[in-house]
Amino acid sequence: MKFLIIEDEPLAAERLGHLILQHYPQTEKTETCDSVESAVLWLRSNPMPNCIFMDIQLSDGLSFSISHDVEITCPVIFTTAYENYALKAFELFSIDYLLKPVTLKSLKQALTKLETYTNATLTAQQNLLDIPASKYKNRFLIKIGNKMFFVDVSDVAYFLSDDKSVYLYTTDGKAFPIDYTLDSLMEHLNEKEFFRLNRQVIARIDAIKDIKLYTNRRLKLSLNSGNAVNDFIVSRERVAAFKTWAGN
């Protein structure tokens, strides 16, 4: 743990440093600043500590003004001889408010709060890291000539492979070439929304206008793309899987 003590009384700062070491013998380093100005300079020049112990009335003003000049992103424990600043203190990033003289008992209670806060923060950060990034694409980057723009997945009607090229057809009837194969597309599309009908077409469920029985136990789907309605065949070997997908 790294601590910063902001205190303009040298004896009080030294005593607080000793108390911290009693509770945290493994403390890496405890730095001390004795004014608003020196605290601002230190915070601008160093990584944020794990916690700041901050006296309120300093030689060049109230320590609250430090936050006007530099962003404080770590917990603060205020140490002061005055009770009337408590409400103001908790408007900042304060986890405790200790009245001087600070005792080992009150310090331990404050540091227990710090440990609880730190553990909760680490748990929340780990939970965020444990959330797997979505493998599904939200949009496609389209390049036409020297222009580039995005098409959201929600605006896709279907993908069509035609003569070694793959085209994205939008719900408003536009078609754009994309640098994907149908196989690679299926790895990046939500299988609840998209289904590969055959070797040439991947359809989005919202684009399906109607479904008809077709010869040789196949299905014929009509897909909307703008004002156009295009028919595509679900291959016989894909019919059972399509019915399961469509039924979900």
- Looking at 130, 149, 180, the residue that finishes a domain is 130
Residue 175 sits in a domain whose CATH number is: 2.40.50.1020
Instruction: Evaluate whether 159 touches 170 at the Cβ level (below 8 Å).
Output: no
CATH classification at residue 109:
3.40.50.2300
126 and 155 assigned to the same domain:
no
Asked if residue 131 has pLDDT above 50, the reply is no
pLDDT at 134: 63
The structure's pTM equals 0.49
The 10s digit of each residue's pLDDT in 13-53 is: 999 988 988 887 777 778 899 999 999 999 999 999 989 99
Domain ends where: 95, 130, 165? 130
Structural domain containing residue 82: 2-130
Total number of domains in the chain:
2
- Tell whether 98 and 21 lie within a shared domain: yes
Contacts of 200 (CB under 8 A, 6+ apart): 160, 161, 162, 182, 232
Do residue 200 and residue 217 come from a single domain?
yes
State whether 19 and 115 are in the same domain.
Answer: yes
Mean pLDDT of the 151-169 span: 93
